[in-house]
Homo-oligomer: A and B are copies of this chain.
Amino acid sequence: MMKIKIIFLALLFSTNLFAQQATWIYYPGDFEIWLGNEMQNRRTERGAFFPPFWKMDSHYVLVEFSKKLDLKASETIALFVEGKYNVKLDGKLLTGNPDKITIPAGKHSLNIKVFNQANVPAIFVAGTTIASDASWMVTFEDKEWIDESGKASDTSSGTVYLNVGSWNFNASDTPPSRFGLAVQARSVVKSVKKQKGDLLDFGRETFGYLVFHHLKGKGNLNVYYGESEEEALSTGTCETLDSFGFDQFPEKDFVVPVSKAFRYVYVEDNPLSYDSVSTLYEYLPLEYKGDFRCNDELLNEIWDVSAYTLHLTTREFFIDGIKRDRWVWSGDACQSYLMNYYLFFDSPSVSRTLLNLRGKDPVSSHINTIMDYTFYWFISIYDYYAYTGDATFIERFYPRMQSLMEYCLSRRNSNGMMEGLAGDWVFIDWADFKMSKAGEVSFEQLLFYRSLETMALCAGIANRPEDRMKYEKLVGDLYAKLIPAFWSEEKKAFVHNREKGVMSEQVTPYTNIFAVLFGYLDEAKTQAVKQSVLLNPDALKITTPYMRFYELEALCLLGEHKHVLKEIRDYWGGMLQLGATSFWEKYNPNETGTEHLAMYGRPFGKSLCHAWGASPIYLFGKYFLGVKPETAGYKTFSIKPSLGDLQWMEGSVPTPEGKINVYMDKKQIKVSASEGEGYLYFKTASRPQTNIGTIEQTAENEYKLKIEQNKKYIIKSKFQ
């Protein structure tokens, strides 16, 4: 009896404790490039293939994985490989393509070399103690040659190995090349007969594969998609459509091969028959870790629709909009990352997107060809580090940051500033007023300055002190130039640009907003900008949620929470009033009817589900619940809750491994944090009380309270 128990325990021991979790591994960044090529080349425009207009890179087609082993006992490993491969054990090539290898006890080196042109070379190795995981190394040129005597060269110093990339491909039969999003069946909510066909309404914006149940017959099945009813019914101008010709379709379910975005589907002139239509909703499975609720149901609905908008656009990567481009755009993604930190806190989605956008060397144009989008990429890394504390990412990809910055530095003009050169797109915003993109655009310089700051920070993290000094010098140089070049004492604001040494007369909101966000201005200039631009009713108006994101963030930073809530109710509430079930690419309250659907010179060109429409998630989490990291990865944090005009609010903000919960009404604040430590900051005219800890006064009516892990703080007072 005793013996059996021991054996049982030993078995448990070997399978549960010793069996490592293996995962598919590959060259870091390569899966992201490959998947981006797959995804971004799925765009169609009215049935025509519509690929990106920037360089698409490729994975390394030949890579070598390596691992040093030290085995207590002999062990047999199973090997799964995507590609043609060989295996070297202790420098000796094994015959053929072994799928099982027994390795004796002791120290060994295992090398697996894989070639794959079409897909990313990847391996999955599973043994008792051996498992392919993030500790394995990989190189794209092992440089191991042999001399005339058969001696292998020393690769210890000349070969550059990196830690492998991996994600969640944790089963041998789910290799990276078979990646697919999850799907879930969803029904039609309403079906209406029209003159020449059926109009199906799925109730709200969705993304999926249409399914025609029990389809049979022959002829052309013509499907027109619409984010609006008008679009689906406009067979000549809707943005996406499908047409399938069948000789004779046997009675069975037909699933449309490529997923599309729509709320409405119009099936016209249909000679085939089917029982019903449904859709397979296609999505990235993500946990909703952040939340927000308050006494204002409109704001709650805005938060919900924002969260849905962000989820729809958080897919293989953070994409812009789901109907049209379905591409990865750095400026758009920069905002998605920030929203993500307050909703999903899904770091792999951020790093996937960053790596896809960066691609590989050599750099031949700005990211997405857009100068500002290159800078947003740097700024996104700054944010990524702040929220996640992922120094490994910075260290590993520092060389790609550096070569992109070298590209920028090589394109400065004689004043050391960035000007659009041939092939550069200076984007800024889709604005309803005219603005110049020529010469030295102040907005671009400000983003450039912030990008250089990012490089200085990352050079430090990557332990490159010389680089850090170099970038700090560049930061200082540019910092000193901006006010002399662009600040107008007359306008009390930054002007838009300088052409041939002449400052323009135009004041646009962008530079002024970002100067506040980056804390670039002194108090006097900050207040000047607030009055002359941000709160000035005669200032040029922003009509994209894209720039409203930053505009409202700046107003929050300036303490204008009530004003911001009013703007959110008007602007996002305005879209809801027009029937939005997800937020739009652009919204101009002055437009009417189908004007809201048009863009790019096309009646339905506008995207009605655009990531940058979801910013309330970020604003509520960061500036109302008031939570943000103070040191990288929420090692320390601050909580500065602000009700604005609300009666009460509650919610939580995810951190890398936990959550920070905040409740506030006019009489109490309740907070708790499951990791890190920080301070709760609040203002009150009355004397505050806490259940735990000691409240410190920092100024008149201003207080702070240290927040430690896993304690529930209740602070009572009278709050505004």
Contacts and interface: CB of A to CB of B under 8 A. Distances in A.
Contact of A159 (B149, B159, B423, B599): B423
Interface string A321-365: 000000000000000000000000000000000000000011011
A122 to B, nearest CB: 15
A146 interface: yes
A158 interface: yes
A587 interface: no
Interface in A404-418: none
Contact of A361 (B45, B60, B362): B362
Contacts of A60: 55-56
B61 A149 contact: no
Given A157-B422, A422-B157, A422-B158, A96 B47 contact: yes
Contacts of A113: 49, 51
Contacts of A149: 600-601
Contact of A601 (B115, B150, B425): B150
A403 B361 CA distance: 13
A86 B50 CA distance: 7
A117 interface: yes
Interface in A46-69: 46-62
A563 interface: no
A148 interface: yes
A53 B143 CA distance: 5
Contacts of A93: 45-46, 48, 50
B157 A97 contact: no
A141 B369 contact: yes
A557 interface: no
A320 to B, nearest CB: 13
A146 B115 CA distance: 38
A37 B141 contact: no
Contact of A51 (B59, B62, B150): B62
A372 to B, nearest CB: 13
Contact of A58 (B117, B146, B147, B599): B117
Given A96-B48, A157-B422, A369-B141, A58 B61 contact: yes
A268 interface: no
B369 A143 contact: yes
A599 B149 CA distance: 7
Interface string A221-254: 0000000000000000000000000000000000
Interface string A259-286: 0000000000000000000000000000
A431 to B, nearest CB: 8
A145 interface: yes
A424 interface: yes
A34 interface: yes
B145 A369 contact: yes
B145 A47 contact: no
A22 to B, nearest CB: 22
Nearest to A94: B48
A648 interface: no
Interface in A91-118: 93-97, 113, 115, 117-118
Contact of A423 (B85, B96, B158, B424): B158
A140 interface: yes
28 contacts: A37-B117, A45-B93, A48-B93, A48-B94, A48-B97, A49-B115, A51-B62, A54-B141, A54-B143, A55-B62, A55-B141, A56-B115, A57-B61, A58-B61, A117-B118, A141-B365, A141-B369, A145-B425, A148-B599, A149-B601, A150-B605, A157-B422, A157-B423, A158-B423, A158-B424, A160-B364, A361-B362, A362-B362
Interface of A: 34, 37-38, 41, 45-62, 84-87, 93-97, 113, 115, 117-118, 140-151, 153, 155, 157-160, 361-362, 364-365, 369, 403, 421-425, 430, 599-602, 605
